[in-house]
């Protein structure tokens, strides 16, 4: 009988990696998870059964973590103040990426799977990502890196994130140009010049997921507290030329207009109103979710996306969100959690490709 792939999860959040694994072809067992935020841990527990959930990874000795085959996590990006001034392991001491390195040096899982913000690749003039990649390579991992927009996996959101996959003691290939991002290509050229252990993994991923749009994930019977119901907003809507509003789906962000400040007194970003026939801008870990305009019973309304809708926009399914709703998590926490999460459909596609790539 084939053994399950044992997974250890760091910076687990609400379980975006785990939800992606659940939908993938990988036969896995989650044997360790770590998350410092108590509310995210609660949401995680509503959907994943695990007895080995821990708090701050900095307080956990790497020898106490069970042996595992795959280590995953979306580690926070901190300032690498000494990056480029010293060499090797000392460059990352004191940062949360250091915790990833100390674990893989000791436990040596076969697979490493990391996610971060897009700006990781340009942070500190590129010194941060170079330090990260050098340490991964020095630990014996053949790796690849790219930027993937979650929309590529079919979700109705434009969300670019950095992804890194490493395989311990895997065959080494000279990097070729990245098909998604020119900055990644320049980083790959640097990796080739410095003889890092590299492979061409991400260029082999082809996603053919069905495209979805904001209109596909909207709730029915939304509480009026999410609507912009002031007389000024209603008057503004009545004065719109409805023929100029989008009527056809388009796989891009469609900003219909920005509410004037004297109509809705808020920051510029919070006054932007989007079409439900397009996709959402990148969700942030804040309660000021994107505003949409839509028609209902021959009347147009403007409202913000609900917490449930933002989770759907990330690619979490109804079963996942139903389990959260049953337990009464606050809107504030849910907005924060969806904005911080990874998009499960992207994780699924990467893992499926990894299984084929290594013929597991």
Annotated catalytic residues are 77
Dihedrals phi, psi of 311, to nearest 5 degrees: -65, -40
Any idea what DSSP says for residue 204?
A: G
**Which of 132, 131, 127, 102 minimizes the C-alpha distance to 114?**
132
Distance (Å, whole) CA 246 – CA 276: 8
List of residues 6+ apart from 148 with CB closer than 8 A: 160, 161, 163, 180, 202, 205, 346, 350
What number of other Cβ atoms are within 10 A of residue 109's Cβ?
Answer: 23
Q: Is 263 helix (H, G, I), strand (E, B) or coil?
A: coil
Question: What Å distances lie between residue 67 and 8, 16, 30, 136, CA to CA?
Answer: 9, 22, 11, 19
What number of other Cβ atoms are within 10 A of residue 358's Cβ?
Answer: 12
Compute the half-sphere exposure of residue 290: CA atoms within 13 Å on the CB side of its CA: 30
Compute the half-sphere exposure of residue 96: CA atoms within 13 Å on the CB side of its CA: 16
Strand bridging mode 160-168 / 111-117:
antiparallel
Q: Is 198 helix (H, G, I), strand (E, B) or coil?
A: strand
Tokens standing for residue 208: 């053919």
Distance (Å, whole) CA 90 – CA 85: 10
Can you give the C-alpha Rg of the chain in angstroms? 22
Residue 88 region, left (φ>0) first, then alpha (ψ -120 to 50), else beta?
left
């Amino acid at each position: 009988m084939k053994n399950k792939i044992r997974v250890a999860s760091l910076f687990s959040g609400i379980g975006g990696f785990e939800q992606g694994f659940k939908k993938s072809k990988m036969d896995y067992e989650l044997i360790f998870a770590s998350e410092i935020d108590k509310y995210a841990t609660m949401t995680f527990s509503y959907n994943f059964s695990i007895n080995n959930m821990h708090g701050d990874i900095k307080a956990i000795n790497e020898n106490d973590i069970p042996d595992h085959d795959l280590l995953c996590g979306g580690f926070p990006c901190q300032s690498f103040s000494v990056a480029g001034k010293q060499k090797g392991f000392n460059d990352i001491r004191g940062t949360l990426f250091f915790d990833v390195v100390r674990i893989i040096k000791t436990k040596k899982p076969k697979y490493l799977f990391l996610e971060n913000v897009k700006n990781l690749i340009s942070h500190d003039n590129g010194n941060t990502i170079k330090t990260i990649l050098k340490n991964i390579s020095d630990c014996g991992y053949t790796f690849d890196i790219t930027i993937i927009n979650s929309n590529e996996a079919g979700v109705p959101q434009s969300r670019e994130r950095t992804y890194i996959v490493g395989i311990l003691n895997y065959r080494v290939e000279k990097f070729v140009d990245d098909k998604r991002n020119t900055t990644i290509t320049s980083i790959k050229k640097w990796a080739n010049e410095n003889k890092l252990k590299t492979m061409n993994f991400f260029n082999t991923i082809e996603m053919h997921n069905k495209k979805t749009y904001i209109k596909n994930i909207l709730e029915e019977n939304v509480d009026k507290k999410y609507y912009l119901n002031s007389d000024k907003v209603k008057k503004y809507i009545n004065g719109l030329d409805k023929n100029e509003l989008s009527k056809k789906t388009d796989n891009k962000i469609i900003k219909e207009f920005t509410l004037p400040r004297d109509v809705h007194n808020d920051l510029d970003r919070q006054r932007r109103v989007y079409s439900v026939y397009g996709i959402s801008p990148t969700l942030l870990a804040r309660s000021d979710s994107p505003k949409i305009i839509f028609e209902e019973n021959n009347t147009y309304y403007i409202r913000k996306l609900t917490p449930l809708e933002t989770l759907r926009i990330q690619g979490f399914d109804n079963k996942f969100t139903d389990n959260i709703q049953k337990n009464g998590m606050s809107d504030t926490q849910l907005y924060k959690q969806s904005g911080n999460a990874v998009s499960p459909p992207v994780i699924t596609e990467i893992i499926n490709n990894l299984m084929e790539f290594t013929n597991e």
